Structure formats: C-alpha cells, structure tokens
Structure 1
Amino acid sequence: MTTIKNPVIPGMAPDPSIICIDKRYYIATSTFHWTPSIQLFESADLANWHLIGSALNNEEVNLCGTNTPAGIWAPHLSYDSETKRIWLVYSHMVNMAGREFNADTYAIWATDMRGPWSEPIYFTSLGFDPALFHDDDGNHYLTILEWETREGYQAPGHIVIAEIDLSSGELISPWHRVTKGFTTRGCVEAPQIYKHCGTYYLLLASGGTGYGHGVEIGRSSSIFGPYEPHPSGEPILTSSPRHLFSLGDPDAGHFEMVNPDSPMQKAGHGSLVHTHTDEWYMAHLMSRPLEGKLLNPLGRETSLQKMYWTEDNWLRMADGSNLAKMSFMGLAGVPIEKEQLTDLYDSFEKKQYLPQFMTPYRQQNQSWVSTQKRKGYLRIYGGNSLFSQMNPAIMATRATSFIYEVETMLEFQPRHYSQTAGLGLYYDSNNWLYTHLTYLEEKNCPYLTIMQAKLGQRIEYVNTRILVPGGHVILKIKYDHGAAAIFYRLSAQEQWQSLGQELAVEYLSDEGVNGIPGEIGGFTGLFSFIGAVDAFQHQSYADFAYYKVTNL
C-alpha cells in the first residue's frame, strides 16, 4: 500500500460527500455563492481527484444577491442500488439574517455522475445539511438538521429523520428527533446514516465550523433511534482531540481549540465510503492556516483518513487515535496514478474553457463570457462593479497553494472611467484585489492601476498609474503566504516590471472577511480571477489571450 498525502483536493472543497460506484470514487463538495454549483470529483485510487463537472449548471438556482456565506450548502451523494440511480441532495441557503437560516432542500438524480441530472425535487425547508439513506428493504430516509430559532431552546437544533417518497419529495413518516443526549461537542449538523452488520450508524459533524470541528458517531438497532453515542464520549475524528463541551452553542470559531502541533486544523464534516477492496475511508474537510496565524486563505479542503471497525463494531481511525493526519494508507492492491499537477493553463483555443472556472453570484453563459467571439481568446463583457452581488463578470479558479503565480494577457479599449478589465484575487464582493486597465480622460488613453476591497472598504491606489496606449498588457500576480506582488509588461519581449508595492492580502481568508471576533466569516477560500467591469453601458469587453496558474 502507498502513503497518500492530504489534502487530496486542495483549495475550496468543503463538506465532501463520497461514494463508490463500479470501482470509481466520487466526491461532491459545497460551492456556496459560486457557480456552476456543486463540484464533482472522480478518482480511481483515492489519491488523484479530477474535476469532472458540476451538478447544478443549467440555472437550476439563482444565487444573485447571495450574502457570504450563504448559497449551496453540503451536497450529499447516495446510490440506490434498486433503481441504479445516483441521488444528490443539497440545501440552498437563501437567508441568514436574524439567525433565521432559511434553507430550501432539494434532490436531483442521475444514472451517471456526469449527468444529465434531473430537475430538482423539493423536499423541505426545515433546516440544512440533508442526506439520503436507502435501506435494504427499499425504504428511503432523509436526515437533516432542524434549525432552532427560539430563545431558550437547544441551539443550533436537533437532528431529525423521516421516511420520504423520493419521487414526490413528500414525507411518509413524521420527523423523529434522534440526538438527545448524543453529542458532547454540540453544534451538530451534517447527519448521515450508514448500516453495518444490521446496525444503523449516525455520523455527525459537531463542535462548530471552526477549530473545534469534529466527527461524532452513534448507533441504534432502529433507524429512528434512540442512538447510543460512541463509548469514548469524544469525536472519532478531529484535529483538536482535547475535550470540548459546547452543547447549546449555535456555532463558533472556537479559536481556543487550535492544535499547535498539527498543520491540519478544523477536521470534521465526514462522509464514509466502503471501498471495492473491502476497506473503509472517511472523507472530511480541513484547513491549513498561515504559519503563526488563525487565517485560512485556502479555505476548507478535502482530506481522507483510513478507518476500521473494532471487534465490538465501533468505527475508529486506522491508527487507533481520533487525530486526523496529513497522510493515510491507500487502497490495498490499487496502484497510484502519476501525481496530478494542480497548475492550470487555458489558451482558449477550444470551444469550452477549463471546468475549473467559477463565477460568484451569477451563471456563466454566452451573453457575457465566450470563446466564440474571437478565436484563441476568452471575451468577457463588462458587468457590475466587483462590489456587486448581482452580475459581476468574473471568471475565477480556486487557489490551491500558499505560493503561486497567476498570469494573463489582455486587450481592452475602455472609453469611460467606469470600464475596467484585468486580473485579481477574490474572496467575495467585499474582499478582493484588482489590477486593471481603465480610462484616463486627461490623456484619452488606457492606464493600468490597482483597486482593493477590504471588509467592504474601497481602496484606490491613485499614485500607481501606468499608461498603456495600445490597451495591450500582460499581467501577473505572485501570491506568497498572504502577500501579493503585482507585475506587468507591455509586450512579451519586455522584462517584468513591478506595479506598486507588495500588498498584504492575508485577510482574503475564511476568518478575515467579516471581522466579528470569535466567528468564521466565510467558508470558501481564496480565488484568482480575470474579469471586466462596465458600469457605463454594459457594452465594453476585454479579450484574454490565456490564463495560467503556476503553483510554486
């Protein structure tokens, strides 16, 4: 067996749900305010995961106006062997104001992971983090967190289970609450049912979404419980193994639970898979903070741990501990493919651009982004300001390394100061860095400059202006552990020139985007992007000759 390094999916890949179908492994992850929604990854060896597409890419959801960190939460994959259908259930979080957490839960199905997927079937608006379980008697069950809004009641709520009619989405049984007396870490969510040796096992994410995160488990002879907690009284997987009791805490960063001895933090929200080699693994989310800080620019990533069943039928990590590790043993007898590169390059010669490109808040379509308008270029028509949560014209990719370079060449002929195009780093509409061409009225000429957003504050670098008479420029940003250096050249024959001073952008991280002490501000992580703005007539466009990401 080969040792495999974590994370297996670096960069934004949170809330992983894993299944095995015909010796192939699939993971679905959350995408929040990004489209196409719900990333789908495939692997043959558990080490190399390839993005094969998205489940929601035909405008099934409208994410315009989505606040951080709402949007598409916690997709869950399951397979119904009786109908040979793959089911994917998810929540669309549409409001978080007032702690109301209004989320609508839907399911879609397909016979192939690459689709086509069915139209969404509405299930409930009771809470979020749903999962389906297909029992061997042909019955189907939905588990979900019942979100609690009332003062004086257990927060964030209870885990509930009901039998459901998959074709209509209607409940066959009442909801059954199953987590009374179950958890010690509290803030339980992401319930998932598994069956082993005739016993039902309930897997839970617990301890909040921060540094106290973990995975707890209970078991019962009846699917509706009561569920017996694990005899250890602790999570079976976490990155912070010391005891935490937070029952009644709706959620928190729990920064006091950081583990100084581990490069991995926030390990939790697990999903089990029984492999074709008769082994067990758990996929889970995790984060890697900047050294010496509690900031995670790469967001929540996906890792795997090998598991086993004890003689008394409890699930444990393979090494007997509950501390998630930065490596694990691979599948028995399965060779590892050549290590995949996480670098990206697109010359835009093909009709379809890289599937890694994502857009915040709006759908990608030919009306504003296309490789067909000019051969060998990606044309982006200017959208709203980058502060907008409605129609920004951004094509972005997940940052997957602490040190990397992102580069592009663009042509742009602005005619108004509110028309811009360029390259940048992005978290959400209130937090980004943007080096761009725009229009200088005094010179009747394009010029290159920098703008930044930090916690919603607009920062203009008015003393950093380079005239670009032809409107052609090559741009590069080097990101290095929370610092960004910007470079440009006006032709491929010139040397790179520095544009201004190195800028601090470590706030482009899950903890740095809202400034509320003790809380996690976002769930998505850092992106790099190319894009265009036209707040004048929505008619201007920029042509990008290539997009290149090199991890260093």
Structure 2
Amino acid sequence: MLHNPIFKGFNPDPAICRKGDDYYVAVSTFEWFPGIPIYHSKDMKHWELLTHVLTDDTKPNLTKLPSAKGIWAPCLTYCEEEDMFYVIYGVMNSMNARYFDVNNYLIKSKSIEGPWSEPVYLTSSGFDASILHDDNGKKYIVSLEWETREGYEKPGVICCVEYDPETKHVVGYPKRIWRGATDRGCIEAPHLTKRDGWYYIMCAEGGTGYNHAVTMGRSRNVWGPYEPDPNGPLVTSQPKESNERADDDHLKPRYFNPDSVLQKSGHGSYVDLPNGETYLVHLTSRPFVPELRCTLGRETAIQKMTWTNDGWLRMADGSNLAKLEVEEPDLPDAPMPEIPGHDDFDGGAIGNWYYSPRQMPTTFANVTERPGWLRIRGEESLASLNRTSLIARKLTSVYATVTTKMEFEPEVYQHSAGLTIYYDNMNNIFLRKYYSQTLGGSAISIVRLENGEKTEMLDTRVAVEDKPIYFRLNIEGRR
C-alpha cells in the first residue's frame, strides 16, 4: 500500500511526469532556496529527493519577498518528441491590494538533473501556469487569469495562449477558455493534457483550503468549449457540493470535514503508467483540531485513479474522498536513498535536504572549512526578509526530537546562534546562545515570535560557559 502523505512536510503544488520507467514530481518552494525540488521514483512507492531546479539565488532574486511569496506551482513535463524536460514556474512578487503580481517563466533541460536553460519570460496575467506539448507539434500555456476589476467573478478564469519555441514568445494574448467544472469558485492550478483526441483541463477549485478539490473538463478543441465532468470533483476532502463562486476566500474553514484525516485536498496532476494504471498526486494538509492550523504546511499525497469507458477520470475506489492508504501500482519494488535523520557534516557538501530563506545555503555556510562541522556565518535576524543565516530542514511530523551540537562564543548581545523551530519570519521559536550584558557572559534563552510579536523568555535564561553545547527541541503535537 501507498501511505499518504507521500511527501510529508512542506511540499505543496505537486506536478508529476514520467520518462520511461522513471517518475518525477516537482513541488513549490516559495521563498526558499534551493528552489523546486525534484523527487524521483521507479515504483511510486519509494522516492528520493534527487535534485533541485533553481540553484542560483539571483535567478530569481527573492530578497525581501514576504514569506509564502516567491516560487509558485512548478509544472514539470517531459516532451518525448524532443527528449526534453520542461519546467514552468511563477515568481509571485506581491499580493498587495489583491493584485497578485506574478511573472511566469519557462526553462528546459535534456537531463532532469540539469543544467537548465536560461529562463524565458512567458506571461504575467496570472499564476499556476503550465504547458501542453500537443501531438500536432504545437505548445500551449494555460494559467489562471487573475481578476482585478470590481463587479467581476473572482478570482478569475483559466486562459490559454500558444507558445512558439522558435521565437521563445507566446503568440498573441491569452484567451479565456474555462470557468470551472463546479460552483466551488476560486479556480486555479490548470493542467492541460491530451488523450484519445480529447483535451482535458484539470484544475483546482474551492480555494486552497477546506473546500479544495481537483476537477476536470474536456473538449475536442484546445480553445474549447469544455464540458464539465458530470460527476463533479475527482478528488477532495469535502465531497459536499456548494456554490462559492462569489467568494474569493481561499481558506473556507466552515468546510472542514471531521471524517477526513487529509484536509485541503486539491491542486492535482496525473500520470498514466505503461501498464494502463493511472495515479494522481495532489496537495493536502493535516491540521490541528480545533484550531485548524497546518503547522507542517501543505504536503503531497497520491491517489489511484481509473479511466471510464466514456473517457472520464475517476478515483479507483469509486469515491472522490482523498484516502490515507492507496493500492500501490503493479511495479517492481525499487528502494531509493532516504534523507538521513542524522548528519555529521562529513560528506564534503551541504546535503540537498537543507534550505535557506531567499538565498542558497552555500552563500553563508559550508562543511569544508572545518570538516565534520557545519560552519555558519552570521547575518540578519530570523525576522528579516533580507539575508538570514538559517539552515533548515523540513519538519515531517508533529512528533520529533531535534538535537544539535554547537560551538559559539558571542562577544556582544547582538551575537546569537542556536536552534529554531521556524514557520516563517513572523512565527518561530529560537533556542539561542548569546551574550548577556546582565549576566556578564554567555547565556542561553528562548525568544518567541508569534504573528510578529517578540517575547524574550528571560525567566528561562541560564548562564553557560564558552564550550561545546548541545541544544535539543522536543516537539509533541496532537491529533
């Protein structure tokens, strides 16, 4: 059986593709570098973190972007005719005044591990852009056209534009082709595919919250008109139908389904296997109840699908409720290297499972100056939107113990280093060693940021000597 989520922790907006017997999934990274992880599998049961697409933190420059902006919804595809991988991604620069200023780019590579081409600018009309390599040789870009006008249905409509790979430009202006298969509203995340002469448009509807769903329409013409799937959503956490077209609130906590462990299920992408099986990956979350806080972020799950005789995609169990356990495909077992739980920093390079906000970890840290140690050079605070010396790894469970050994000799009160549990620059807990002027030497204390409000827990302050120190965080969540 496949156990969901398959990618635990911060792994939103998955897109899946296949080359031969190899399966690849790309996910969003927002303000974090390296950008756009690529997971790899041969059996869709065992996965490895293979590589990252964006490793130059000047392309794009995410400095000073607020948390959750940056790299959105990468679309990973493989064009068999060219033997070429394509990635379409958006850089969300601002959501101020509900304008959603985004630029969409295309890059490509013969190898999934790169090197990737220089980014080609596509459009700025909306986010979640993706590409179809049509069997007639043409290429099409679909995305959400974000609506900014008063009196029009928000957040907008799916639009399509042809892309010319010779000129590296889109052809004309995007045309509106689809407003959704349901009345849940908040349509986004379009993926255009072609099968048996049908163009299928798979989207997310309901907002990326508790009314989220994967939906589908189809047409004989890429420009439409598209007919909606008569069965409604393909995959969701809330099967109850609703009319929310006039509501652009994406969270919609009133649709929380207590009968589903997987919440917010939507934003999907499917892949057909050579043996005739079909699987769909989608984002999901596992919130705390009753607060409905998803502290692990949005994760990636997988569902077994099947095609009906009349050409519609369905969940294999006949329902549309996202499942925790799914029948695995009929493929030979192919174990993959796992991300280690322990790191002695003796591998010659910083592991690819570490991330930093808005810059590459290698700009301020290395494991070569002192083999067996991770050397970090201090920059700005955890609250900064500029350059923060934070080496982070994704938390995959609300039950965890994290331990690190540190050597650090602070000389002024502004010197601090330690261990943090970090949601974003406005919400984190920092167990730190610093110089205490009051105590006249080094000390440890806890600093908490909650919604940007800082609390220094001086009652926990303890004087320490300047020698190696172990920090430990015990995380004990609840369900």
Decide whether the 8 Å contact of 2:180 with 2:205 is kept in 1.
Answer: no
Decide whether the 8 Å contact of 1:208 with 1:251 is kept in 2.
Answer: yes
Under a length normalisation based on structure 2, what TM-score does the superposition of the two structures give? Answer: 0.97
Between the aligned partners of 1:330 and 1:213, the Cα distance in structure 2 is 24
> 1:287-332: per-residue Cα shift (whole Å, max 9, x none)?
1112444111111111111111111111111011111111111111
2:220 alignment partner in structure 1:
221
2:174 alignment partner in structure 1:
175
2:325 alignment partner in structure 1:
327
Q: Does residue 359 of the first structure (1) align with residue 356 of the second (2)?
A: yes
1:492 alignment partner in structure 2:
none
Decide whether the 8 Å contact of 1:11 with 1:399 is kept in 2.
Answer: yes
Please report how far the alpha carbon of residue 443 of structure 1 lies from its aligned counterpart in structure 2 after TM superposition.
Answer: 4.5
> 1:9-63: per-residue Cα shift (whole Å, max 9, x none)?
1111100000011201100000111111111110111112211121001221111
1:403 alignment partner in structure 2:
399
Which stretch of the first structure deviates more once superposed, 343-352 or 395-404? Answer: 343-352
Decide whether the 8 Å contact of 1:38 with 1:54 is kept in 2.
Answer: yes
**What residue identity is the alignment partner of 2:165?**
L
Please report how far the alpha carbon of residue 404 of structure 1 lies from its aligned counterpart in structure 2 after TM superposition.
Answer: 0.5
Decide whether the 8 Å contact of 2:48 with 2:338 is kept in 1.
Answer: no
1:287 alignment partner in structure 2:
285
2:314 alignment partner in structure 1:
316
1:387 alignment partner in structure 2:
383
Task: Specify the SS of the correspondent of 1:256.
Answer: helix
**What residue identity is the alignment partner of 1:381?**
R
Please report how far the alpha carbon of residue 342 of structure 1 lies from its aligned counterpart in structure 2 after TM superposition.
Answer: 5.8
Task: Specify the SS of the correspondent of 1:15.
Answer: coil
Decide whether the 8 Å contact of 2:180 with 2:187 is kept in 1.
Answer: no
Decide whether the 8 Å contact of 1:446 with 1:471 is kept in 2.
Answer: no
2:373 alignment partner in structure 1:
377
1:250 alignment partner in structure 2:
248
Q: Does residue 466 of the first structure (1) align with residue 465 of the second (2)?
A: no
Between the aligned partners of 2:238 and 2:348, the Cα distance in structure 1 is 47
Cα distance change of structure 1 residues 390 and 177 upon mapping to structure 2, 3 Å threshold: same
Query: Taking every aligned residue pair, what percent have the same amino acid on both sides?
Result: 38
Please report how far the alpha carbon of residue 343 of structure 1 lies from its aligned counterpart in structure 2 after TM superposition.
Answer: 5.1
Which stretch of the first structure deviates more once superposed, 190-199 or 415-424? Answer: 190-199
Please report how far the alpha carbon of residue 414 of structure 1 lies from its aligned counterpart in structure 2 after TM superposition.
Answer: 0.6
**What residue identity is the alignment partner of 2:416?**
T
Between the aligned partners of 2:438 and 2:331, the Cα distance in structure 1 is 69
Q: Does residue 23 of the first structure (1) align with residue 30 of the second (2)?
A: no
Cα distance change of structure 1 residues 141 and 435 upon mapping to structure 2, 3 Å threshold: same
Between the aligned partners of 1:307 and 1:227, the Cα distance in structure 2 is 21
User: Where do 5+ consecutive residues of structure 1 fail to align?
Assistant: 483-505, 507-552
Please report how far the alpha carbon of residue 99 of structure 1 lies from its aligned counterpart in structure 2 after TM superposition.
Answer: 0.4
**What residue identity is the alignment partner of 1:375?**
P
Between the aligned partners of 2:334 and 2:240, the Cα distance in structure 1 is 35
Please report how far the alpha carbon of residue 231 of structure 1 lies from its aligned counterpart in structure 2 after TM superposition.
Answer: 0.9
2:148 alignment partner in structure 1:
149
Between the aligned partners of 1:177 and 1:320, the Cα distance in structure 2 is 32
> 1:149-187: per-residue Cα shift (whole Å, max 9, x none)?
111111101100111113543122442211146432111
Between the aligned partners of 1:229 and 1:287, the Cα distance in structure 2 is 26
Decide whether the 8 Å contact of 2:43 with 2:331 is kept in 1.
Answer: no
1:550 alignment partner in structure 2:
none
> 1:455-509: per-residue Cα shift (whole Å, max 9, x none)?
0001001121222212421011011117xxxxxxxxxxxxxxxxxxxxxxx9xxx
Please report how far the alpha carbon of residue 78 of structure 1 lies from its aligned counterpart in structure 2 after TM superposition.
Answer: 1.0
Cα distance change of structure 1 residues 104 and 134 upon mapping to structure 2, 3 Å threshold: same
1:113-512 matches, within 5 Å, as: 113-180=112-179, 182-232=181-231, 234-335=232-333, 337=335, 344-366=341-363, 368-481=364-477
1:111 alignment partner in structure 2:
110
Between the aligned partners of 1:181 and 1:130, the Cα distance in structure 2 is 16
Between the aligned partners of 2:340 and 2:247, the Cα distance in structure 1 is 40
Task: Specify the SS of the correspondent of 1:365.
Answer: helix
1:2-17 matches, within 5 Å, as: 3-17=1-15
Decide whether the 8 Å contact of 1:126 with 1:146 is kept in 2.
Answer: yes
> 1:52-89: per-residue Cα shift (whole Å, max 9, x none)?
12100122111111113211100001111221110000
Between the aligned partners of 2:420 and 2:179, the Cα distance in structure 1 is 48
Decide whether the 8 Å contact of 2:339 with 2:353 is kept in 1.
Answer: no
Decide whether the 8 Å contact of 1:449 with 1:464 is kept in 2.
Answer: yes
Between the aligned partners of 1:101 and 1:235, the Cα distance in structure 2 is 26
Between the aligned partners of 2:168 and 2:181, the Cα distance in structure 1 is 28
**What residue identity is the alignment partner of 2:310?**
D
Between the aligned partners of 1:348 and 1:174, the Cα distance in structure 2 is 51
Cα distance change of structure 1 residues 229 and 442 upon mapping to structure 2, 3 Å threshold: closer
User: Where do 5+ consecutive residues of structure 2 fail to align?
Assistant: none
Between the aligned partners of 1:336 and 1:320, the Cα distance in structure 2 is 29
Between the aligned partners of 2:160 and 2:146, the Cα distance in structure 1 is 13
Task: Specify the SS of the correspondent of 2:392.
Answer: strand
Task: Specify the SS of the correspondent of 1:446.
Answer: strand
Please report how far the alpha carbon of residue 281 of structure 1 lies from its aligned counterpart in structure 2 after TM superposition.
Answer: 0.7
**What residue identity is the alignment partner of 2:62?**
L
**What residue identity is the alignment partner of 2:208?**
T
1:57-136 matches, within 5 Å, as: 57-59=55-57, 60-136=59-135
Decide whether the 8 Å contact of 1:215 with 1:270 is kept in 2.
Answer: yes
Task: Specify the SS of the correspondent of 2:97.
Answer: helix
> 1:424-444: per-residue Cα shift (whole Å, max 9, x none)?
100111110000110123544
> 1:224-283: per-residue Cα shift (whole Å, max 9, x none)?
100000112x21110110012111322321111111111111110000101132211100
Decide whether the 8 Å contact of 2:106 with 2:121 is kept in 1.
Answer: yes
Please report how far the alpha carbon of residue 101 of structure 1 lies from its aligned counterpart in structure 2 after TM superposition.
Answer: 0.4
Which stretch of the first structure deviates more once superposed, 405-414 or 58-67? Answer: 58-67
**What residue identity is the alignment partner of 2:347?**
K
**What residue identity is the alignment partner of 2:411?**
R
Under a length normalisation based on structure 1, what TM-score does the superposition of the two structures give? Answer: 0.84
Cα distance change of structure 1 residues 401 and 21 upon mapping to structure 2, 3 Å threshold: same
Decide whether the 8 Å contact of 1:408 with 1:476 is kept in 2.
Answer: yes
RMSD: 1.6
Decide whether the 8 Å contact of 1:274 with 1:281 is kept in 2.
Answer: yes
Cα distance change of structure 1 residues 284 and 180 upon mapping to structure 2, 3 Å threshold: closer
> 1:339-363: per-residue Cα shift (whole Å, max 9, x none)?
x766522111122122110011223
Between the aligned partners of 2:378 and 2:105, the Cα distance in structure 1 is 33
Decide whether the 8 Å contact of 1:186 with 1:246 is kept in 2.
Answer: yes
Decide whether the 8 Å contact of 1:156 with 1:251 is kept in 2.
Answer: no
Cα distance change of structure 1 residues 301 and 180 upon mapping to structure 2, 3 Å threshold: closer
Task: Specify the SS of the correspondent of 2:342.
Answer: strand
